[in-house]
C-alpha cells in the first residue's frame, strides 16, 4: 500500500507527537479537577493557566480574555448568541457574509426566527465582501457584524482592517466578531490592536486535539453564558475543564507559533508546486481560490467529473482530499460558497479542496498530480459513456 498522503488539513490536522505525549502525561498524572482546592486540583488549574497564557501571548491579549470551549463551533455560537442575548438593547440588526461557516450561518438563520433582521453581504468572484454594500448596510441599530477571516473552502482572506474602519466610521458601538478558525496559527492576528471584539479559534486545525477551542473576548464586552452550572471559565462557560485537551491545545499553539513564518513559506512552496504541476499535466480545470488567498487552502475544479467520485478514486490510492467544508459535506447540496462566488455549475460539480500542513512534502504533491493525470481521463470517459446511454 502506498504511504498516506493527507491533503485535508482544513478539516483537521494530525496532532504533533509532543501534543499526544503531553496529553497522555496530563491524563495519567495531572488528573485533578481544576476547581478542587487540594494539591491535585491546583496542579490541574496551573496547567490550564499555562495553556491560556500561551494562547493569549500568541494573540497579544490579556490572559483573562481567553475562554476555552469545545471547539470553533461553540466559540462562534457563544460569541454571537452570548453577545446578542446579553446586550438586547444594542439593536436587532446583524450583518454577516454569504460565505460563512455553517456554525455562523445557521446561528444567524435561527436569530432571524427570533426577531433579528439579518443582512448577508455578497462576495465577488474572488470570495471577497463588497465593502460598499457593507457601508450601506450598517445602521444605528446594527448590534453585531460576524466575518470569517479566512474562508474554509477557498482560502479568501477578508479585509478585516478595512471592515472595522468602515464600521467605526458609521457606528462605533457595533461589535465585530471574527471566525479565525482557519487563520489562527497560520497568519499573525492581533485582535486587540486590530479592533476585533471577539475571535473564535480551534485546536485541531493547528495539530492539537479535537473537541477543544477558544474564544477571545475583549474585556469591555459583556456576554451571556450559554451553558449554566458550576461557573467555570470565569462564569462564562460552565462544565469541568477538559484539562488534557486544553493542555494539548496549548502545546500545539506553542509549537505552531514558534515556526509560523517557516510553516507559511513551506506551505506556500507546496501550493506553488501543485499549481505548476497542474498546469503541466492536467486539462480542463480551474483554480477557484483567489491569487491572494492563504496558501494553506487551494480549491480546484475539474470539468466533466463529480468531485465525490474523484475523492474516492484518490482515496483508493491513499490520498485524502475534500469536496469542501467538512461540516457540510454530508449534505447533498452544492457548495453555498462557490455559488455565492458565481462559479459555473460545471465546475462546482467537480470542485475539490486541497489543504496543506507542514507534514506535507513536495514528493506527495507530485504523486497527487500524477494520480490525477491517471484518474481524470478515466472518470471523464465513464461519465461521457453514461451520458450517451
Domains of the chain in sequence order: 5-13+259-383 (3.90.1150.10), 17-258 (3.40.640.10)
| 369-373: long-range contacts, CB 8 A cutoff, minimum separation 24 | 369/274, 369/277, 369/278, 369/281, 369/282, 370/281, 371/314, 371/317, 371/319, 372/278, 372/281, 372/282, 372/310, 372/314, 373/281, 373/282
Pairwise pLDDT comparison (51 vs 380), residue with the higher score? 51
pLDDT of residue 389: 52
pLDDT of residue 93: 97
Least-confidence region, from 118-122, 182-186, 324-328: 324-328
User: What is the per-residue pLDDT across 63-91, written as a single tens digit (0 to 9) for each?
Assistant: 999 999 999 999 999 999 999 999 999 99
Pairwise pLDDT comparison (38 vs 238), residue with the higher score? 38
Least-confidence region, from 150-154, 182-186, 243-247, 383-387: 383-387
With helix as H, strand as E and coil as C, how does 212-227 read? CEEEEECCCCCCCCCE
pLDDT of residue 218: 97
Checking if the pLDDT of 333 tops 80, the result is no
pLDDT of residue 1: 44
Query: Average pLDDT, stretch 348-370?
Result: 96
Residue 327 annotated among the catalytic residues of the structure: yes
Nearest to 12 by CA among 307, 215, 248, 209: 209
pLDDT of residue 51: 97
For the chain, give the mean pLDDT.
Answer: 93
- CA angle, corner 344, sides to 378 and 112, nearest 5? 125
Band of the pLDDT at 334, cuts 50, 70, 90? low
Owner of C-alpha cell 480574555: 65
pLDDT of residue 153: 95
Q: What residue ranges in the chain does DSSP mark as E strands?
A: 5-6, 66-69, 93-97, 117-121, 142-148, 175-179, 198-202, 213-217, 285-287, 297-302, 319-320, 351-355
Owner of C-alpha cell 449554566: 228
Checking if the pLDDT of 329 tops 50, the result is no
Separation CA 177–CA 164 (nearest Å): 10
Checking if the pLDDT of 312 tops 80, the result is yes
Query: Average pLDDT, stretch 349-361?
Result: 96
Catalytic residue among 122, 327, 329, 383: 327
pLDDT of residue 242: 95
pTM listed for this prediction: 0.93
- CA angle, corner 167, sides to 165 and 168, nearest 5? 65
Please say whether the beta carbons of 263 and 358 come within 8 A.
yes
Checking if the pLDDT of 384 tops 80, the result is no
Separation CA 196–CA 79 (nearest Å): 12
Amino acid at each position: 500500500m502506498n504511504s498516506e498522503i493527507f491533503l485535508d488539513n482544513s478539516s483537521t490536522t494530525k496532532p504533533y507527537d509532543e501534543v499526544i505525549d503531553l496529553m497522555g502525561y496530563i491524563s495519567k498524572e495531572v488528573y485533578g479537577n481544576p476547581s478542587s482546592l487540594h494539591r491535585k486540583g491546583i496542579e490541574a488549574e496551573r496547567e490550564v493557566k499555562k495553556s491560556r497564557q500561551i494562547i493569549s501571548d500568541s494573540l497579544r491579549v490579556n490572559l483573562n480574555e481567553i475562554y476555552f470551549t469545545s471547539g470553533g463551533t461553540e466559540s462562534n455560537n457563544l460569541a454571537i448568541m452570548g453577545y446578542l442575548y446579553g446586550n438586547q438593547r444594542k439593536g436587532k440588526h446583524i450583518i454577516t457574509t454569504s460565505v460563512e461557516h455553517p456554525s455562523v450561518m445557521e446561528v444567524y438563520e435561527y436569530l432571524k426566527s427570533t426577531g433579528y433582521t439579518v443582512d448577508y453581504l455578497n462576495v465577488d468572484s474572488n470570495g471577497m465582501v463588497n465593502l460598499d454594500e457593507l457601508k450601506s448596510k450598517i445602521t444605528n441599530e446594527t448590534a453585531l457584524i460576524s466575518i470569517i477571516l479566512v474562508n474554509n473552502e477557498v482560502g479568501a482572506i477578508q479585509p478585516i482592517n478595512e471592515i472595522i474602519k468602515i464600521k467605526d466610521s458609521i457606528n462605533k458601538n457595533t461589535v465585530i466578531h471574527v471566525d479565525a478558525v482557519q487563520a489562527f496559527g497560520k497568519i499573525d492576528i492581533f485582535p486587540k490592536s486590530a479592533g476585533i471584539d471577539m475571535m473564535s479559534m480551534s485546536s485541531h486545525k493547528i495539530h492539537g486535539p479535537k473537541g477543544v477551542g477558544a474564544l477571545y473576548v475583549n474585556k469591555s464586552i459583556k456576554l451571556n453564558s450559554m451553558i449554566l452550572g458550576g461557573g467555570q471559565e470565569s462564569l462564562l462557560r460552565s462544565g469541568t475543564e477538559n484539562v488534557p485537551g486544553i493542555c494539548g491545545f496549548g502545546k500545539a499553539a506553542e509549537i505552531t507559533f514558534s515556526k509560523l513564518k517557516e510553516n507559511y513559506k513551506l506551505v506556500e512552496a507546496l501550493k506553488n508546486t501543485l499549481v505548476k504541476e497542474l498546469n503541466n499535466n492536467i486539462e480542463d480545470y480551474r483554480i477557484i481560490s483567489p491569487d491572494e488567498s492563504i496558501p494553506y487552502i487551494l480549491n480546484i475544479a475539474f470539468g466533466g467529473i463529480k468531485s465525490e467520485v474523484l475523492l474516492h478514486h484518490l482515496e483508493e490510492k491513499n490520498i485524502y482530499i475534500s469536496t469542501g467544508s467538512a461540516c457540510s459535506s454530508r449534505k447533498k447540496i452544492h457548495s453555498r460558497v462557490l455559488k455565492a462566488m458565481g462559479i459555473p455549475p460545471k465546475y462546482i460539480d467537480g470542485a475539490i479542496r486541497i489543504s496543506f500542513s507542514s507534514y506535507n512534502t513536495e514528493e506527495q504533491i507530485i504523486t497527487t498530480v500524477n494520480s490525477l493525470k491517471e484518474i481524470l481521463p478515466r472518470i471523464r470517459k465513464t461519465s461521457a459513456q453514461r451520458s450517451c446511454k
